[in-house]
Structures are given as C-alpha cells and as structure tokens.
C-alpha cells in the first residue's frame, strides 16, 4: 500500500515555462517548500483539502480531503487521459518543492509513469532527495535561484551544482528568473555550473513577474543577460510565463 501525499491541487493545463512550454500536462502540485522566494505566486502551505479540477481544463474545482491516496490520483489521471486522447504530454510534479516528499514519491512515481512521462519542477537544492527518485523521472526543470530576484540570502550555488550533477542522464534544463537587478556575475556563475556538467543543457531566462502582473525587467536588460549567457552556452532561450499571458492556471 503506497503512502498518501498532501497535494495542494491537481488540474490539466498548458505548461507555461521552460523546455515543455506549450505542452498540455496533468499538474500535481504538492504542498510545502524549503525556500521562500520573493516572487513566488503559489500557496504551498499544507492544508486539509486538495483543489481537484472537476474535469480536464474545466477550471472548476472540488475540495477533496487530504492526504490523497495514490489510487485516487491514478484514477483521475486515467479518466482525463481517456476523456482527452493524446492531449496530455506528461505529468508535471510541481510545488512548493516536490522533493520534500521524495520518500513517498519513490512509491508514487513508478505507478504514475505507467500513465504518462514524468516532469519534475524543482528549485534544484535537494540533490540527496533527487538521488532516490531520479530513475523514475523523464524531464527535470531545475531553477537556479538568483539572489537578485529570489530574495534568497543563503548561497545556493553549491547545492545547485550538486543537484545538476545528480540530474545528469535525464532530460534536464535550467531556468533563471531574471529582473532588472540581475547581474552579470550571477549569469556567469549559473553558466559555469552548467558548463561543469554539460554545456549543452538548455538554459531558459524567464522575466520575473511582479505583483499586478507586470514584468520586472526591461527588454534592453533582458537581451543583455541573454547575450552574456549565450557567449558561454549554445542553448539559451528567453521565455516569459506563457500561462499567465494565456490566462490559464
């Protein structure tokens, strides 16, 4: 019997960030996070109920008692896949920080992976937890937290380096949330970490979204940062949060 998990919400939508942007996914958002980024727009506290979409893309939700059993999640995935054949590319585990639940995910991921490929969205700081589940993952979208935009005062570069090494062998990419305050040194540090593992790992620069939905970086500053990164890496792309532009979850 698999252990239950605390899930903030489960829904079907378009991936708006990184290498799978534009793909339809089933999102399973887990609760709790080990960081507190200033730009985070997600409520990740553990709660007594999960917001479960009533149908894929319906944008209507039921409240389901927590924690959720794996059987209930598998049944929902199977129903949505049947209702929309070939529409869903993968299952996205997001948060919060999903790897805080790595002990349970060791049980969940092999079963979920029978339904669709698994995409992990992570803040890239928990390499030991990743080691326990990496064999069950197909895609990893890893954040590197820039002090200029995240507000994280701890030096996370060492953790990011260890995490990216552990992620080798999966289809991994790196995302940097950048703003007007982001510096050349920050970009170069991220590039150095990527180069130390595999310089062909894609790097995505994502303009920070401020309160009220405004973008917190000018076009000139964004292009300057893209130029700095491109001098070091062959695969540097700029993608805003597409789901916010589309008005979807």
140-174 per-position pLDDT tens digit: 999 999 999 887 767 899 999 999 999 998 999 99
51-90 per-position pLDDT tens digit: 999 999 999 999 999 999 999 999 999 999 999 999 999 9
94 labeled part of a ligand binding site: yes
Bridge partners of 237, per DSSP, are: 204
Is 66 within the bounds of a domain?
A: yes
Going by C-beta distance under 8 Å and a sequence separation of 6 or more, which residues neighbour residue 20? 89, 90, 92, 119, 139, 141
15 labeled part of a ligand binding site: yes
CA gap 94, 99 in Å, rounded? 9
**Structural domain boundaries, residue 26:** 7-246
Is 41 within the bounds of a domain?
A: yes
14 labeled part of a ligand binding site: yes
The two tokens of residue 1 are: 């019997």
Burial class (CB in 10 A: 0-12, 13-18, 19+), 158: exposed
171 labeled part of a ligand binding site: no
77 labeled part of a ligand binding site: no
Global pTM value: 0.94
Is 1 within the bounds of a domain?
A: no
- What is the CATH number for 49? 3.20.20.70
Is 177 within the bounds of a domain?
A: yes
Is 2 within the bounds of a domain?
A: no
User: Alpha carbon of 107 to those of 113, 124, 138, 201: distances in Å?
Assistant: 11, 21, 16, 29
29 labeled part of a ligand binding site: yes
According to the per-residue pLDDT averaged within each range, which of 16-20, 31-35, 150-154, 238-242 is highest?
16-20
CA gap 235, 159 in Å, rounded? 23
41 labeled part of a ligand binding site: yes
Q: How many domains does the chain have?
A: 1
- For residues 154 and 6, which has the higher predicted lDDT (pLDDT)? 6
Let me know: does 25 contact 77? Beta carbons within 8 Å: no
40 labeled part of a ligand binding site: yes
């Amino acid at each position: 019997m698999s252990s239950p998990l605390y899930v903030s919400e489960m829904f079907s939508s378009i991936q708006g960030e990184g290498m799978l942007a534009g793909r339809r996914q089933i999102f399973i958002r887990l609760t709790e996070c080990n960081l507190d980024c200033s730009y985070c727009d997600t409520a990740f506290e553990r709660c007594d109920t999960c917001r479960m979409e009533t149908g894929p893309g319906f944008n209507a939700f039921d409240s389901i008692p927590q924690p959720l059993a794996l059987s209930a999640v598998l049944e929902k995935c199977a129903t949505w896949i049947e209702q929309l054949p070939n529409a869903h590319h993968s299952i996205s585990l997001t948060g919060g920080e999903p790897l805080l639940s790595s002990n349970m995910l060791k049980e969940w991921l092999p079963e979920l992976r029978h339904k669709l490929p698994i995409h992990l969205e992570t803040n890239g700081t928990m390499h030991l937890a990743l080691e326990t589940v990496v064999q069950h993952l197909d895609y990893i979208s890893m954040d590197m937290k820039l002090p200029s935009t995240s507000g994280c005062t701890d030096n996370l570069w060492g953790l990011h380096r260890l995490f990216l090494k552990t992620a080798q062998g999966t289809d991994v990419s790196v995302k940097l949330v950048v703003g007007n305050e982001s510096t050349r040194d920050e970009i170069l540090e991220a590039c150095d970490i990527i180069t130390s593992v595999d310089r062909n790992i894609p790097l995505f620069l994502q303009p920070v979204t401020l309160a009220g939905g405004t973008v917190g970086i000018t076009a000139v500053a964004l292009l300057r940062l893209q130029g700095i990164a491109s001098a070091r890496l062959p695969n540097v792309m700029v993608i805003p949060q597409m789901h916010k532009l589309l008005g979807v979850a």
